[in-house]
Amino acid sequence: MGLGKTIEAGLIVAQLWAELKRRIVIIVPASLRKQWNHELLKKFHLESTILEAKSYNQAKKAGQANPFDRAEGVFIVSYQFVSSKLADVKAIPWNLAIVDEAHRLRDVYKTGNKTARQIRSAVGDRPKLLLTATPLQNSLLEL
């Protein structure tokens, strides 16, 4: 906490927004969704949408085939939500995917880390920003 990771990520999001690259997904532990939403609004004047089961289902009932499919928007979602909506997340040509607490994605190449593999699958080869304050063990496989 307090290392400035969210601020640095917010600066990158603000820059992309200014460049009209406005399809951004922020994948975080569920407990951090509101904090990210608040920080983006307070410090960068950027609106964001926390998408979770209730709001996702409301959008589906309102006729949206894929609630992520907007011309522009910053979406904040949890790891578990990405896993449960994998096809919808994967279908969007994201300009940036930010993953907070990215150390949780270590060992993505091992079959036991299902969440990490699903997040990797969801964002594919799109640009990613991985945030962590936890040092890695200097293994290229962890990166």
Q: Give the pLDDT of residue 71.
A: 84
- Is residue 141 in a domain? no
**Nearby residues of 33 by Cβ (< 8 Å), 6 or more positions away:** 50, 52, 76, 77, 78
Q: Is the pLDDT of residue 81 over 70?
A: yes
Is residue 143 pLDDT above 60, yes or no?
no
Q: Examine residue 90 and state whether it is found in any structural domain, yes or no.
A: yes
List the one residue out of 45, 56, 48, 112 whose CA is nearest residue 81: 56
Inside any domain, residue 139: no
Domain presence at residue 39: yes
Give the pLDDT of residue 100: 93
First to last CA, the chain: 21
Query: Could you tell me the CATH number of the domain that includes residue 45?
Result: 3.40.50.10810
pLDDT of residue 13: 96
- Please tell me the total count of domains within the chain: 1
Q: Residue 114's pLDDT is what?
A: 79
List of residues 6+ apart from 59 with CB closer than 8 A: 67
Judge whether 114 lies within some domain: yes
Global confidence as pTM: 0.88
- Structural domain boundaries, residue 39: 5-130
If one compares 113 and 77, the residue with the highest pLDDT of the two is 77
Evaluate whether residue 140 is within a structural domain: no
> What mean pLDDT comes out for the span 48-67?
94
pLDDT at 84 over 70: yes
Instruction: Give domain status of residue 55, yes or no.
Output: yes
Residue 137 in any domain: the answer is no
92 within 8 A of 51, measured Cβ to Cβ: no
Identify the pLDDT of residue 101: 87
